[in-house]
Amino acid sequence: MLTLAQLIKVVLDEAYQDIPGTTAEKDKAIKSELERLSANYGDLKNSKRVAIDYSSAVARFAYIYKYTVAHADYIKQVIESNKALRDLFTRTDVAVACLGGGPGSDLLGILKYMIKAGSKSALTCYLFDRERAWGDSWSEVAKTLKATFPLFPVFQQMDVTDKTTWEGYKKFLHADLFTMSYFLSEVWSFQKEAAAFFEHVFKHAKKGAMFLFIDNNDQKGEFPAWFDSMAKAHGVTVVASNACEMAFSVDEEKKDLDPYYTKFDWPKRKSNVVVRVGIKQ
Ligand SMILES: C[S@@+](CC[C@H](N)C(=O)[O-])C[C@H]1O[C@@H](n2cnc3c(N)ncnc32)[C@H](O)[C@@H]1O
């Protein structure tokens, strides 16, 4: 079985190949994309902002390199820290719905936990995202990883602000776990349009379904407040709540991420985050 860094490297190599131009042109485009993404993430509460476009290969490469490695590790750490979440991965079958999970961070974090814990659960993982192109990045993940447990990733395109794109999906509502990793902040400015989707998910999630929310610890606490209000309205009890700095070391992974690590510096490591784990009653 590959390590996750080796797996990410395979995905990055594919995205890198898809970026047009010479090596120097690609690298220049990636550096400028890393800056564009970072500037966008500093402006998530701007009500006039337009949605971030992840459709190009360069955007996908930049996001996966800079953010996916870190976010996956944070998700692994949250699962490790919570018994109810750990217990999920002792079941024979587990279904997870990753909302805004296109870049693969949520899936990779779960895989990282399962591999470390020696879980043998059969994992069905729905990745829901507005950007269809993410599907290309992770469609081969099961084949590439050669996991020692059954792994069924399912990419489904949906825009949470457009009911016609999500009302047809039914199966994911039976998920054992819903993840929202850096997703509520991303759709914060489109809250009014996205409300019906979240209402649908929280309302129809089955009894015992778990929710894992992790996001930027914004000064006003508006991102977790949004999660908390939806949880309260739909009988989801918050069983773990935290605001802290999360960090991880890419030392182990560094070598596997080369030549990108040498060219593009460290992926994100430390973040000031808010976390909630909830269980539907
Ligand atoms: C900041 S990324 C978070 C990705 C991943 N969960 C993580 O933790 O790294 C936000 C994701 O939300 C997706 N997204 C943005 N607006 C969306 C919408 N209206 N409906 C569905 N997905 C959306 C983006 O395409 C992107 O993949």
| 223 and 194 Cβ atoms separated by less than 8 Å | no
| 242 and 216 Cβ atoms separated by less than 8 Å | no
pLDDT tens figures, 38-69: 999 988 888 888 899 999 999 999 999 999 98
Q: Which amino acid is at 102?
A: G
Query: Which atom of ligand 1 is found nearest the CA of 134?
Result: 27
| Per-residue model confidence (pLDDT) at position 6 | 86
Q: What is the whole-number distance in angstroms between the Cα of residue 116 and the centre of ligand 1? A: 26
Ligand 1 pocket check: which of 8, 38, 131 to mutate, most ligand atoms within 8 Å of Cβ? 131
DSSP string, 3-66: -HHHHHHHHHHHHHHHS-S-HHHHHHHHHHHHHHHHHHHTTTT-TTPPPPP--SHHHHHHHIII
Let me know if 47 is exposed, middle or buried by CB neighbors in 10 A (0-12, 13-18, 19+).
Answer: exposed
Per-residue DSSP letter, 67 = I
Query: Which ranges of the chain have pLDDT less than 70?
Result: 252
Helices (H), ranges, 131-219 = 134-138, 141-145, 163-166, 191-204
Angle (CA) 214-166-71 rounded to 5° is 20
| 126 and 100 Cβ atoms separated by less than 8 Å | no
Nearest to 41 by CA among 70, 6, 76, 77: 70
Specify whether the backbone of 188 is left (phi greater than 0), alpha (psi in -120 to 50) or beta.
alpha
In the chain, what is the straight-line distance between the N-terminal and C-terminal CA atoms, in Å?
A: 38
| Per-residue model confidence (pLDDT) at position 265 | 86
| Per-residue model confidence (pLDDT) at position 144 | 87
Ligand 1 pocket check: which of 54, 129, 164, 169 to mutate, most ligand atoms within 8 Å of Cβ? 129
| Per-residue model confidence (pLDDT) at position 192 | 95
| Per-residue model confidence (pLDDT) at position 45 | 87
| 213 and 180 Cβ atoms separated by less than 8 Å | yes
- Mapped onto helix, strand or coil, the DSSP state of residue 274 is strand
Nearest to 153 by CA among 163, 166, 143, 167: 143
Measured distance CA(196)–CA(165) in Å, rounded: 12
Q: Using a 6 Å cutoff on CB, does residue 102 contact ligand 1?
A: yes
| Per-residue model confidence (pLDDT) at position 3 | 78
Structure tokens at 91: 């079941």
Q: Which amino acid is at 281?
A: Q
Nearest to 221 by CA among 272, 177, 160, 279: 272
Nearest to 183 by CA among 59, 77, 62, 44: 44
| Per-residue model confidence (pLDDT) at position 49 | 87
Which superfamily does CATH assign the domain made up of 70-280 to? Vaccinia Virus protein VP39 (3.40.50.150)
